[in-house]
Structure 1
């Protein structure tokens, strides 16, 4: 076996996995015994032929994003993401429930979260501004941009240059427009990968990692608009609401569900105005989407 070399997974192709090793890109197969390899993974590979390799080892991940698959299992989508930038806009109508869902997942997956409010060239209601201010009070970074008018793009680029990032959000909010503004030669780049790996037409249907001109990496995953609650437990869902965290340990019961339980510190905080009522109501809605749990004692 040739000496192992470290590489970065940048795309899944129809006949293999594109791995970047230094200045070259190799088309690799993977050992069957390995866990699923995804874009963003750091791997050790052996060279088996000209521009071809085999993934021998999957290096430890600092974070992994998962999505639900069949049989209520989860499967990884991308790895080693530093920040997920949740994109939304005044049009289509702001889906704050979906936004909260993304934030909950990030809180439980060791991934930072930031909010991108796109299409600021369009009018939007004052209620949206109030919600945005609340998220900022929870220390979620907020970037107001317009990919159409090139407003705020340079500020976003500066933040992206320092990390590995990914955009998420509902359809129609402008994720593709933002990606194209940041990666004007996107199609040229992926065609180059296809030619380098001798795969011909690029057939990736999942995520692809791009190096941004100003530094940093952007994982573009057009097929993963919504990654669900990704196997979170009820307790993890509650922890995913950042403002709940100081109160969870003060509840009377260790397994408090924060719904009708006696002496619930979270509900008390809502009553006192220390936690947003609208956010709490969205927590209850997300909780309804969780799989049923074992029946417990009625309290």
Structure 2
């Protein structure tokens, strides 16, 4: 087992996992190795750093998953969750003037990031289209909470360079509702994306349709982008009611001041969060969305 090599998981394929392994000499570029995993291992996901044993120059077996700094989950059967991507630094939540901004979904993404050790930032795509006053107001509020906002147009190539710069030192992912232009944005940042997809597919000898849920791309100016088409559905991913409240960043200073440790921030006596809403310190519409998300949670995750 001494001959283990370290690699980065870049794609899930039919029955295997594509792992990028650097050549020890540093002279040859990374090579792609098609791997199986040890049965006893947890689910291996894109973004994982792993140790593998090589059975041939193009094939290997993942023996160990190295510690993750973050993991993004999505709901699975029943009330379970399964990991989607690992070692993400930032999720960029993309939205646009049209389709109309779904603030409930936006809050859901932000709440998950707050609880997963992943930074969140906002990307307004299609900046050439007029925004409604309600969305303008919402954006100012999110920025007041410390969320960065990047204004871009993937089609008009506005703001792409600035976004590229931000992405260059981290592992990122785009999330957002359907139709906001996540694919256009990815294509603008990764002009050679299809070449990479084909090279990943080639190592499996199965042709181009083998890549499934997620693929990790290296951005031209540095940094990695994990493209995961199914990620719009990561739901509340197993959050408890207390974690959902913590996921609302502006609730955090008040949660410890509620009279009861298990305060649900509903009709509970001496709730500091509700008092802050009444005093205008927390936006009433954000609080209302918290209540809506709480209602969407499985009963098992909610307090009684």
Query: Would you say same fold, with TM above 0.5?
Result: yes
Paired with 2:77 and 2:100, the residues of 1 have a C-alpha distance of: 30
Q: Equivalent residue for 1:241?
A: 248
Which secondary structure does the structure 2 equivalent of 1:210 belong to? strand
Query: Residues 296 and 143 of structure 1: is their aligned pair in 2 closer, same or farther, counting only changes over 3 Å?
Result: closer
Q: Structure 1 length normalisation: TM-score?
A: 0.96
Please report how far the alpha carbon of residue 296 of structure 1 lies from its aligned counterpart in structure 2 after TM superposition.
7.1
Query: Residues 3 and 294 of structure 1: is their aligned pair in 2 closer, same or farther, counting only changes over 3 Å?
Result: closer
2:88 aligned to which of 77, 81, 104: 81
1:189 aligned to which of 188, 193, 196: 196
Please report how far the alpha carbon of residue 198 of structure 1 lies from its aligned counterpart in structure 2 after TM superposition.
3.7
1:66 aligned to which of 67, 70, 73: 73
1:52 aligned to which of 40, 54, 59: 59
- 2:132 aligned with 1:125, yes or no? yes
Count of paired positions: 297
Paired with 1:280 and 1:196, the residues of 2 have a C-alpha distance of: 50
Query: Residues 296 and 151 of structure 1: is their aligned pair in 2 closer, same or farther, counting only changes over 3 Å?
Result: closer
Paired with 1:242 and 1:218, the residues of 2 have a C-alpha distance of: 25
CA contact (8 A) 1:234 1:287 kept: yes
- Equivalent residues in 2 for 1:7-18, closer than 5 Å: 7-18=7-18
Structure 1 unaligned blocks of 5 or more = none
2:104 aligned to which of 69, 92, 97: 97
Which secondary structure does the structure 2 equivalent of 1:26 belong to? strand
Task: List per-residue Cα deviations over 1:182-212 (Å, max 9, x = no partner).
Answer: 0111111110122245443341220100000
Q: Equivalent residue for 1:204?
A: 211
Q: Which runs of 4+ in 1 moved over 6 A?
A: 294-297
Which secondary structure does the structure 2 equivalent of 1:57 belong to? strand
Query: Residues 260 and 213 of structure 1: is their aligned pair in 2 closer, same or farther, counting only changes over 3 Å?
Result: same
